[in-house]
Structure 1
Amino acid sequence: MNDENYYKKAVSLDEVDYSALLNDNQRSGLRFARRIRMPRAIALGGMFFPIAATLVTHSVAGGWWLLLVGWAFVWPHLAWQLSSKATEPLIQEFHNLKVDAILAGMWIGLMGVNALPSTALLMILCLNLMGAGGVRLFGAGITLMIVSCLVTLQLTARSLTLSSVPLEGWLTLPVIVLYPLLFAWVSYQTATKLAEHKRRLQVMSTRDGMTGLYNRRHWEILLRNEFDLCRRQHRDVTLLLIDIDHFKSINDNWGHDIGDEAILALTRQLKLTLRGSDVIGRFGGDEFAVIMSGTPSESAIAAMSRVHEGLRNLRLSCAPQVQLHISVGVAPLAPHFSHYREWLKSADMALYKAKNAGRNRTEVAA
């Protein structure tokens, strides 16, 4: 490919990556808005009754009642629609939470800061703001609520009525008790999903996507740890590097699907033959590596003989004509190795020795 095509391809990939990033952000924002939808609907629906009981004693105009019904039973669903249709749902949901704060302040002012309903509204607002956006959103929301409350008190000339009658208290009590439980349940569900997502990411960062074996980066970390441990404890440990013979020819003559099947077939054979304690990794495209702890080189060679025997009787389902052979380099841990990479180099030299000697064999480092 020439340079012009290369750079066109690079630009195209950048655009795809940017588009994918936008889609990820949108999906994340939608999940956040979906999580908040149910708690908002339940909280505002529950607060309708104590606020209505308080407003009855103040003889407010009919327009306020229509607004109360719309706030309690329409606004939660309207807020969801606004977020679900927004290009940035997370930002829109932050705006919705600020609207929640303004409307909560308005109702608190209209009730004359009646103690129990106002406390319940403040509790709901604080949980939502702090849980959604931390201290910054919490500070902005509380400020908007206070300003809205003061403006409502001023415009309606409402006097402060801090005390609550028993009916208002009984209607407010379920909200005060149940909403924190609902908020905690939603938070628990979110934390559980995040923990599962973290576990999947951890697996993806340590495992090879095709075979499920350790990838090279993580396998080398395990090799370094094993090198240090066995040197301190003077314990036998053997390192093996395994390469599929003529793998390029398999890909060229039969296609990459058959090449992938060959890699998976060797993976299965290694898992079947070796011990569960042996650490198998995919070291490269067709190259595998094994750490056999507590195993001298003679036992490692015997294990590889069983692998060779298993491959001799194995046929690929999509290409039975293909016969798999492997070359193996074996390197026991030696006292003169000062770094694990010297040990790895020794196994690599043994692997090349096996290839140069005709392949389909196991050789031990000198």
Structure 2
Amino acid sequence: MKKQTGKGLSFVKRMYLPRGLGLGLGFLSVAAALDPLQPATWVWALLLFHAFGGAHVQFQLARLSSYPYWAERRNLMFDSIMGGFWAGAVGLNPLPAFAVLGMMSMNNISSGGPRFFWRGCLAQLVGVLIAVAIFSPTLVTTSTPLQLYASLPLLLIYPLSVGLACYELAIKLSEHKNRLGILSRTDSLTGLFNHGAWKDLLQIEYGTCQALNRSTTIALIDIDHFKAINDTHGHIVGDNVLKQLGSELIKNLRDTDLAGRYGGDEFCVILPNTSLSQAAEILERLRQTVNHQRDPAIPSLTMSLSIGIAAYKPHFNGAGMWLNEADKALYAAKSTGRNKINSAPVESTVFACTLGAEIG
């Protein structure tokens, strides 16, 4: 098993401050319960070391371990044993003992879930039995006012700190979830929507057009002779061409338009509330912009686009039929010379726009 430098060390660091705070607050509670029992000096020394040095020692041991995650889980079990030990040492004095054991249990269940919680309970029982074997304490059934007040910081402050830590962790998890959600919908090369996300958006737009009977146009865009670009200039240049088109789509389309990479060298766009002629004008500007661009480092490299567009029609029986119309228009653009915009037939009229020619 390789060293868990990511998850393991972050877990160790996350536990360091709560452990130090809990042990420090627990010292007050245990000390108030121990004092009437007049324990030996070594017991006080152990309590002081555990309360104010234990968290740092455990942190260093886990940090330097080959397996920090598992070292920290062992630390939690050790905490449980020591919690049980101090509970037993004070004769199971109700308030201090169960305050300490409760805080240890809170750590265990928040760190490892129910199963780890029960393991912690067993470790606490082991600690109690060790204390009983060493001290043979008399069972204490009542807590004094001093012991009550000494336990209040542990009962009030520590749960707040754990709650705050859990809240911060929940916020981080939410942020990670949002990032993963964005990544799952984004094409890594171009930054546009990926194939699946764009088709989901198309399905939503189809439903909206059905409900509101609004005019929306979709487009499929193909980079002409992209295979030749890869074969002549290499795949790195080919990837840069794809990135460049992605950037041009973002710059030349409106904020309401939804652009995606359909696959390979094919891109797709949804233009809401846009007629066929309006979409053609928008995409013609894009086509001309791309066609006129030149890379000083590769002057021989040119890029042109074939574009098929289709407007929503009430007779479409699904988003797939709409997309198929755009695909037919794209095929027609490619088969009649490329570097042009072609629309799906509308009442037997074929719409085409070629290299700045008149739209009509």
Bigger share in helix = 1
Question: Counterpart in 2 of 1:340?
Answer: 319
Q: How does 1:184-223 map to 2 (within 5 A)?
A: 184-223=163-202
Question: Counterpart in 1 of 2:334?
Answer: 355
Displacement, 1:77?
2.5
Q: Runs of 4+ in structure 1 displaced over 4 angstroms?
A: none
Question: Counterpart in 1 of 2:352?
Answer: none
Of residues 267-276 and 215-224 in structure 1, the stretch that sits farther from structure 2 once superposed is 267-276
Question: Counterpart in 2 of 1:246?
Answer: 225
Question: Counterpart in 2 of 1:16?
Answer: none
SS of residue in 2 equivalent to 1:327 = strand
CA distance in 2, matches of 1:104, 1:250: 69
C-alpha contact 2:191 2:246 (8 A) present in aligned 1? no
C-alpha contact 2:220 2:327 (8 A) present in aligned 1? yes
C-alpha contact 2:218 2:311 (8 A) present in aligned 1? yes
The one-character-per-residue Cα deviations of 1:239-275 (angstroms, maximum 9, x if unpaired) are 2100111222222322333323322322232223222
Of 80, 89, 93, the match for 2:59: 80
Give the residue type in structure 1 aligned to 2:271: M
Question: Counterpart in 2 of 1:126?
Answer: 105
CA distance in 2, matches of 1:94, 1:195: 25
Give the residue type in structure 1 aligned to 2:253: L
CA distance in 1, matches of 2:204, 2:306: 26
CA distance in 1, matches of 2:19, 2:209: 58
Displacement, 1:340?
1.9
Residue 149 (str. 1) matches residue 128 (str. 2): yes
CA distance in 2, matches of 1:37, 1:123: 18
Q: How does 1:64-75 map to 2 (within 5 A)?
A: 64-75=43-54
Residue 170 (str. 1) matches residue 110 (str. 2): no
Q: How does 1:267-346 map to 2 (within 5 A)?
A: 267-316=246-295, 318-346=297-325
CA distance in 1, matches of 2:26, 2:122: 21
CA distance in 1, matches of 2:253, 2:37: 81
Percent identity reads 37
Of 136, 139, 145, the match for 2:118: 139
The one-character-per-residue Cα deviations of 1:113-169 (angstroms, maximum 9, x if unpaired) are 223322321231121012112222222212332343245235422112233344433
Taking structure 2 as the reference length, what is the TM-score of the superposition?
A: 0.87
Residue 111 (str. 1) matches residue 52 (str. 2): no
Taking structure 1 as the reference length, what is the TM-score of the superposition?
A: 0.86
Question: Counterpart in 2 of 1:6?
Answer: none
CA distance in 2, matches of 1:272, 1:194: 32
Q: Which runs of 5+ in 1 are unaligned?
A: 1-18
Matched residues, number: 345
SS of residue in 1 equivalent to 2:210 = helix
Of residues 66-75 and 194-203 in structure 1, the stretch that sits farther from structure 2 once superposed is 66-75
Of 33, 36, 42, the match for 2:12: 33
Of 235, 239, 244, the match for 1:265: 244
Give the residue type in structure 2 aligned to 1:40: R
SS of residue in 2 equivalent to 1:214 = coil
RMSD over aligned CA atoms reads: 2.3
C-alpha contact 2:291 2:305 (8 A) present in aligned 1? no
Residue 93 (str. 1) matches residue 44 (str. 2): no
Of 5, 20, 42, the match for 1:63: 42
The one-character-per-residue Cα deviations of 1:302-339 (angstroms, maximum 9, x if unpaired) are 21221122224323354344222100011222344323
Give the residue type in structure 2 aligned to 1:170: Y
SS of residue in 1 equivalent to 2:142 = coil
SS of residue in 1 equivalent to 2:6 = helix
Of residues 81-90 and 347-356 in structure 1, the stretch that sits farther from structure 2 once superposed is 81-90
SS of residue in 2 equivalent to 1:104 = helix
